[in-house]
Amino acid sequence: MLTFTLRRLLLAIPTLLFISLIIFLLVDLAPGSPMSEIPLTVPPEVRQKMIAALGADQPVFVRYILWLRQFFWVEPAYLLDGWFGTDLAGDQQRILSWQSRSPVFTVIGQRIPQTLTVIGTAYLVGILIAVPIGIYSAYRQYSLFDQLGTFVAMIGFSVPTFFTGTLFIIIFAVWLGWFPTKYDTTLEVTDWASFIRQMQQMAMPVMVLGLANAAAISRYMRSSMLENMGQDYVRTARAKGMTERTVVLKHVLRNSMIPVVTVIALGIPSIFGGAIITENLFGVNGIGAALIGAIHASDLPMVQTLAFIFAVLIVGFNLIADILYGFLDPRIRYD
Amino acid sequence: MADGAAPVLDVRGLTTVFHTRQGEIHAVNSVSFTLSKGEVLGVVGESGSGKSVTMMSLVGLLPSPPAEIREGEVLLGGQDLLRASPAELSSVRGAKVGFVFQDPMTSLNPVFTVENQIIEPLIRHMAMSAADAKARAVELLDLVGIPDAARRVKDYPHQFSGGMRQRVMIAIALACDPDVLIADEPTTALDVTIQAQILELMTQLREKLGMAIIWITHDLGVIAGIADRVMVMYGGQVVEHAPVRALFHNSQHPYTRALLRTIPKITGAREGRLSVIEGQPPIMTSVPRACPFRARCAHAHARCEAENPARRAVDGKPLGQGHDVACHWTPEAENA
């Protein structure tokens, strides 16, 4: 397993380098310039100086190599300095946002907690709802519960989050007045009352995203359970006189979880990616909102860095999913 | 075998129906048989003749719906299993009745160790502690002839060969010392040398443990080697029932005779073609009112169309104890 993991980590390096090049070039080739927000009254020579000050006048491969160096060398050095109080980074140039002139990673550090609390909770809630629903739907296939589950899952699948989100805002915030319409990122949980307020403002985005996540995962769970329910070893378990509970929740479930855990692991990067629409809708000032803002402002370093972080996460969780697979299924051994 | 002692298992008039979109399928039609202690009953028939469904009906292993056990009595040690609740049935399965299935490659759960799968029934039915059950699991693997049992018990099913997996299945089936072992084509999926080993093992185990065995197969050669009595099934009913010698030497039913003719001979002149029974076994969509074999039978006549033959004794013994057959035709009539 260790050899496998190391080999996969080594293989990830060329993959990520290639992805980084593609991302860098794509973003760089996109129309728009960091100066597009600057008024036209600014004389061209001043404009030229501003571009030079940003380093944006350098050839693309120079900027790519410098960016790579910053991403893989300078930024980790700053991170370590922050943790251990060392001075590895010195005063080397960090990746700066063109928009805010602050380091990109500082912005990310500020945004990530919002995203993780809201979107992460939604993902967790989605899993916790979906797994039992999937199990029971499969066990009582074509029952009323299963039909209802299929219907709700179809809605969760097919109705976009900007619609359910708006609907929830109208029902729960405007008509019923239970929850605030906007998420207040400055709220700090210090006591019981502020905790309640945090829960209230999280409720709607978590419900909207949780529904969408639960829809997909419950379907996976159901079909995986159904596939295993008819297997010979299930008959064997019954023939041994195991109770229905043991048969379903031990023998069938353990086998059915193998593909579902993989799907869940592969979905985790999308939490960090942030549900861009939901974050915008509820005013959650998270990483998805940061990405959208950066794209609008042609903040190339920010967009490139964020996109590349998502790529790293996806490659990383692919590896984690593969390793989990090996743990769950004894037939798979990587060594 | 039928020495007057009460049988371990007494099945009377078992009728099982499947509900499908196309209507009812009468898979088992009024099947009766008994099984005495330590006896091996062979059950023979083509695919779809109702052999497996009959045995699965006994202990509630058929999913319901679509299956419905419509009539009959299944007396196991005096308890009628067809009147038992699902919970009562699940404490009979694995404890008093053990099962070995056809395909050892898929019958074990791939994600649990062999030990885990053997100790489950021990803990449930025998109220053993986990430690005792684990010790017993090693004994059981040893009993079924798996070398180095103490180490192999921690292995997963995929680390065993097909024959070894079938031995593990046998160990699981025998774990709680059942009165009856139902072996549903246990050697069909194995190659011939392994088949012989498993047959040998079962014969030994029967002598050692004294359980009764119901051996389902479509291989008459296997039956000749292991069974005391044979029950031939066709169209969900028993068409002939006899001690094993009588069946091979004095078969009465045209179907049994046809089956015996299909066994290729390795001595004598080489025949041009293998002998086959033309046609397909029937799908019974209602209570059979005619002989199910009539369409493929060389001796069929008007009565076969009008009336489903009842089982009648051939050797004068009571039905189910000696040789009986469900057929209107007799070989004697042919010769007369």
Residue A297 lies in a domain: yes
Tokens in use for A266? 């592969």
Do A110 and A252 sit in the same domain of this protein? yes
A258 contacts in chain B (CB < 8 Å)? 111
3-state secondary structure A123-158: HHHHHHHHHHHHHHHHHCCCCHHHHHHHHHHHHHHH
Do A286 and A317 sit in the same domain of this protein? yes
Do A132 and A264 sit in the same domain of this protein? yes
For residue B97, give every residue at least 6 positions away whose Cβ sits within 8 Å of its Cβ, in sequence order, or none: B58, B59, B76, B178, B179, B180, B181, B182
pLDDT score at B335: 60
Tell me, what CATH number does A191's domain have?
1.10.3720.10
Do A95 and A131 sit in the same domain of this protein? no
b/e burial code for range A103-142 (CB count within 10 A of at least 16 → b): bbbebbeebbebbbbbbbbbbebbbebbbebbbbbbbeee
pLDDT score at A182: 83
> Please, which residues bridge with residue B71 across strands?
B15
Do A31 and A148 sit in the same domain of this protein? no
Asked which of A105, A130, A150 is the last residue of a domain, the reply is A105
Q: What is the pLDDT along chain B (336 residues), one digit of tens a residue?
A: 445 567 899 999 999 999 988 888 889 999 999 999 889 999 998 888 888 999 999 988 888 778 888 888 999 988 899 998 988 999 999 999 999 998 888 999 999 999 999 999 999 999 899 999 999 999 999 999 899 999 999 999 999 998 899 999 999 999 999 999 999 988 888 888 888 888 888 888 888 888 999 999 988 888 888 899 999 999 889 999 999 998 888 888 889 988 888 887 777 766 667 777 877 788 888 888 888 888 888 888 888 888 888 888 888 888 878 899 888 888 776 665
Q: Structurally, how many domains does chain A consist of?
A: 2
Task: Tell me how many residue pairs between chain A and chain B have CB atoms under 8 A apart.
Answer: 80
Do A37 and A77 sit in the same domain of this protein? yes
Contact predicate B35/B206, CB 8 Å: no
Contact predicate B181/B100, CB 8 Å: yes
Range of the structural domain that residue A97 is part of: 19-105
Whole-prediction pTM: 0.82
Candidates A235, A240, A329; nearest CB to B94? A240
- Host H or E run for residue B25: strand B23-35
Spatial separation of the C-alpha atoms in residues A224 and A252, rounded to whole Å:
9
**In chain A, alpha helices (H):** 2-29, 44-54, 60-69, 75-84, 104-115, 121-139, 144-158, 161-168, 192-229, 232-239, 244-246, 253-267, 269-273, 276-282, 287-296, 300-328
Angstrom distances, CA of residue A73 to CA of A10, A66, A84, A92, A107: 17, 10, 16, 10, 19
pLDDT score at B1: 44
Asked which of A83, A105, A127 is the last residue of a domain, the reply is A105
Tokens in use for B25? 């399928």
Do A200 and A67 sit in the same domain of this protein? no
Please say if the pLDDT value at position A183 is more than 90.
no
Question: Which whole number is the average pLDDT over A175-197?
Answer: 86
Q: What is the pLDDT of residues A216-233, one digit of tens each?
A: 999 999 999 999 998 999
Closest CA to B122 of B78, B81, B153: B153
Do A313 and A207 sit in the same domain of this protein? yes
User: Could you tell me which chain B residue has the CA closest to the CA of A253?
Assistant: B111
Across A84-88, A237-241, B29-33, B58-62, least confident range: A84-88
Task: Answer yes or no: do A328 and B111 touch at CB < 8 A.
Answer: yes
Residue A201 lies in a domain: yes
Residue A2 lies in a domain: no
Of the CA atoms within 13 Å of residue B19, those in its CB half-sphere come to: 8
Give the gap in angstroms from C-alpha A130 to the nearest C-alpha of chain B.
23
B92 contacts in chain A (CB < 8 Å)? 241
Do A83 and A159 sit in the same domain of this protein? no
Residue A7 lies in a domain: no
- Host H or E run for residue B55: helix B51-58
